[in-house]
Amino acid sequence: MHLFYTPDIQSEFYTLNEEESKHCTRVLRLQQGDTVYLVDGMGGLYTAIIQDANQKKCQLQVIDKQIEYGKLPYISHIAVAPTKNMDRMEWFVEKAVEIGVSEITFLLCEHSERKQLRLDRLEKIAISAMKQSQKGYLPLLHDLTPFQKFIKQTVPEDTFIAHLEDDATKSIKDYFQVNKPHCIMIGPEGDFSPQEIKAAYAAGIRPVTLGESRLRTETAALVACHTVQVLHEIYTALD
């Protein structure tokens, strides 16, 4: 399936932008009459036929549309403090999209080593991963958000903070509920500060452990993402 990201598609006819046109005609070597598929990042999957295989303005005609294509049967939100090395955070975004994540928020914490973020680059990586894994939804990516602001806008009963303190004894599975959103907070390389943990508790956010191993930030974030996915599959299979 040759998949292209077309967030602004609105009618029966669509013209790919120059980058996607080159990929379609020069890299994939598709020609007039070939079938391609378009996703709008919001669950719309469109079947289209190439009308003009122009390398700069490839013109398509939509012949079919599906809605809610690839919709996740669960809602997972990972709130993670970006690592100093952005390659590691880019890796996390790519893999989380491939596995299935609904939303990613980047946290600015007391121990954060990274104070700035190129959200546009991370969005491009997310788009590429969405296309590669043939998903119909592009996860929401939120720019750097101060820790205190985040805990005030989140829903406490759906949110969990993963840290290294001794009182984090229960795992995500101990709280997991089918058909409910799950937001997991992952701290920076120096972990959340005691003040941040205390503030999270005061807001009604509960602690969780991701196991006995001490994980890198991006690994912990991906483990949380995958855990929600696996738990959903297990619990729905038991129903």
**Domain CATH number, residue 106:** 3.40.1280.10
Q: Which two tokens stand for residue 164?
A: 């290294």
What average pLDDT does range 52-78 have in this prediction? 95
**Residues 89 and 117 reside in one and the same domain:** yes
Residue 84 domain flag: yes
Q: Which residues pair with 145 in a beta bridge?
A: 107
Mean pLDDT of 98-110: 97
Verify that 89 and 191 share a domain, yes or no: yes
Domain presence at residue 189: yes
User: Is the pLDDT confidence value at 208 over 70?
Assistant: yes
| Average pLDDT over all residues of the chain | 94
165-226-231 Cα angle (round to 5): 90
Q: Please tell me the predicted confidence (pLDDT) of residue 239.
A: 65
The stretch 42-70 carries a mean pLDDT of: 96
Domain finish residue from 18, 42, 66: 66
- Residue 15 and residue 91 share a domain: no
Q: How does residue 237 score in pLDDT terms, banded at 50, 70 and 90?
A: confident
Pairing between strand 159-162 and 206-208?
Answer: parallel
* pLDDT exceeds 80 at position 103: yes
For residues 98 and 175, state if they share a domain: yes
Q: Does residue 71 form part of some domain?
A: no
Confidence of residue 84 (pLDDT cuts 50, 70, 90): very high
Cα distance between residue 20 and residue 17, in whole Å: 5
Question: What pLDDT does residue 85 have?
Answer: 94
Query: What's the whole-number mean pLDDT along residues 146-164?
Result: 95
Supply the pLDDT for residue 166: 84
Decide which of 27, 47, 66 is a domain's last residue: 66
Same domain, 174 and 80: yes
At residue 212, does pLDDT exceed 80? Answer: yes
- Residues 90 and 35 grouped into a single domain: no
Q: Are residues 150 and 211 in the same domain?
A: yes
Which pLDDT score, from 0 to 100, does residue 164 have? Answer: 86
CATH for 48 = 2.40.240.20
Q: pLDDT value at position 168?
A: 84
| Domain total of the chain | 2
Whether residues 95 and 56 share a domain: the answer is: no
> What per-residue confidence (pLDDT) applies to 223?
97
pLDDT of residue 200: 97
Query: Per-residue confidence at 238, pLDDT binned at 50, 70, 90?
Result: confident
Together in a domain, 204 and 92: yes
pTM: 0.93
Question: Is 45 a member of any domain?
Answer: yes
Domain span at residue 12 reads 3-66
